[in-house]
Amino acid sequence: MTTIAHTLITQKVEDFVAILTINHPPANALTPDLLRELESTMDDLAENERVKALVLTGAGRFFIAGADIRVLAGIASSQEGQKMALDGQAIFNKIERSTKPVIAAINGACFGGGLELAMCCHIRLAANEARLGQPEINLGIIPGFGGTQRLPRLIGSSKATELVLTGESISAEEARTLGLVSQVMPSGDLMRQAIGLARRIASKGQLAVQAALQAIRQGTEIGLREGLTLEANLFGALCESADKTEGLAAFLEKRQPHFQDL
């Protein structure tokens, strides 16, 4: 096990899973420094062969309560605001395009930029007391890190519009009903379940995991016909892999496969 303490993010790697904990008390607010550290950490983990899946969570009672209000208050021009939004979007897009699955373990309040960060992760689990929302409208602004785009794609236009225009939050259970998170559980079980899920995924052949992530992500950006062609091309490429040969042999021999990511 390796543990690395950055300024705002604690990183632990064990059994091919990296656990990233946002530690910026009191509310884990997204500041420019935190975003830069998050980007740097993701870049490092992308090159780390000992990491096959990631879990992202927050320290304390908050996942992330949103952007730093003091930073927002200091923005005085449309150019500054646009740059802040584009910089945040670029980092979140990088997480969404990660070839290693990222699981958000939403341990508490998940608002504004925190929800936008969770939505760019591939899987979202939540503690039963967590609340989620996009409250930016209450500050006279709108989400800027992808909230107006990812939320409708995940839960549908009508409910997403309601949440964005009212700024109201929803419970973890309602988020599960809407499809915003896939599982809700007691807070004491959250990290165990998230890490267990990450380990199960890390045990699979990574060529197939990467292909599945690519097919799902790109498929949401193109039409069905193009998406089916993409899926067929990726499926065909995997049919030449050693992992496919091993996976089928293990199934026929009634044993666990030993994937080599080849």
Each residue of 121-175: pLDDT tens digit?
999 999 999 999 999 999 999 999 999 999 999 999 999 999 999 999 999 999 9
Which phi and psi (to 5°) does residue 185 adopt?
Answer: -155, 165
Locus of tokens 């549908």: 156
Can you read off the two tokens belonging to residue 53? 């899946």
Task: Give every strand in the sheet of 169-171, ordered side by side.
Answer: 62-64, 109-111, 131-133, 169-171
Report the residue count for the chain. 262
CA distance 23 to 107: 13
CA distance 139 to 85: 16
Q: Which domains does the chain have, with CATH numbers?
A: 2-202 (3.90.226.10), 206-252 (1.10.12)
Q: In this structure, what DSSP letter does residue 138 have? A: G
Count CB-CB contacts under 10 A for residue 164.
20
Closest to 132 (Cα-Cα) out of 143, 140, 122: 143
CA distance 169 to 155: 14
> What local confidence, expressed as pLDDT, does residue 7 receive?
87
> Residues with catalytic annotation?
116, 136
Q: What is the pTM of this model?
A: 0.94
Asked if 27 and 62 touch (Cβ cutoff 8 Å), the reply is: yes
Please list the pLDDT of the chain residue by residue as tens digits (262 residues). Answer: 555 555 899 999 999 999 999 999 999 999 999 999 999 999 999 999 999 999 999 999 999 999 889 999 999 999 999 999 999 999 999 999 999 999 999 999 999 999 999 999 999 999 999 999 999 999 999 999 999 999 999 999 999 999 999 999 999 999 999 999 999 999 999 999 999 999 999 999 999 999 999 999 999 999 999 999 999 999 999 999 999 999 999 999 999 999 999 8
Question: For 188-200, what is each residue's pLDDT tens digit?
Answer: 999 999 999 999 9
State how beta strands 9-14 and 17-22 pair.
Answer: antiparallel
To 5 degrees, how large is the angle CA 4–CA 97–CA 194? 50
> What local confidence, expressed as pLDDT, does residue 114 receive?
97
